[in-house]
Amino acid sequence: MRSFRFAAVVRKYFRPYTQVRDSGGAWVTGKWVPSPPERVQRSGSIQPVSAILQATEGGNYTKTDRMLYTTATHSTGERIEYLGVQYTVEESPDREYSDINQYLLRKVVANAPV
């Protein structure tokens, strides 16, 4: 399969964001004490989800959702922080033909129903 190299073109639009990783914790005198999360600096382009995509997918996407284009790899469920707002990586479609990875980010809402 032919591979396209877009990273050099898109890199000028990259901005820093933070990948927030849970670093576990430890048992201290019989109680679980979580460690502070590990914060890794990455760079990518975070864009709003287009109105066309919001309409065609049956309204499953909202104005607070974002698309992330980056050369880094993420997995579903990871947390991303950008401009003080935390997002969760929801979808990561396979992109074997490109060196840029695309991810759907959903805003983390503190009082969302489970």
- Sort strands 79-82 and 31-34 into parallel, antiparallel or unpaired: unpaired
For CA atoms 100, 6, 41, 72, the dihedral sign is positive
Instruction: Tell me the residue ranges of DSSP E strands in the chain.
Output: 15-21, 25-28, 31-34, 38-48, 66-70, 79-82, 85-91, 101-107
Domain-embedded: residue 100:
yes
pLDDT tens digits along 10-62: 777 889 999 998 878 888 888 888 888 889 999 998 888 876 665 555 557 77
- For residue 101, being part of any structural domain is answered with yes
Q: How many domains does the chain have?
A: 1
Q: Which domain holds residue 23?
A: 7-107
Span 57-74, pLDDT tens digits = 555 777 788 889 888 888
Does residue 75 belong to any structural domain of this protein?
A: yes
Q: What is the pLDDT of residue 34?
A: 85
For residue 32, being part of any structural domain is answered with: yes
Residue 94 lies in a domain: yes
In a domain, 114, yes or no: no
pTM for this prediction: 0.75
Confidence grade of residue 81 (pLDDT, cut at 50, 70, 90)? very high
Round to whole Å and give the CA distance between 88 and 79.
5
Output the domain CATH number for residue 46.
2.40.10.270
User: Reduced to 3 states, what is the DSSP secondary structure of residue 44?
Assistant: strand
For residue 4, pLDDT beyond 80 = no
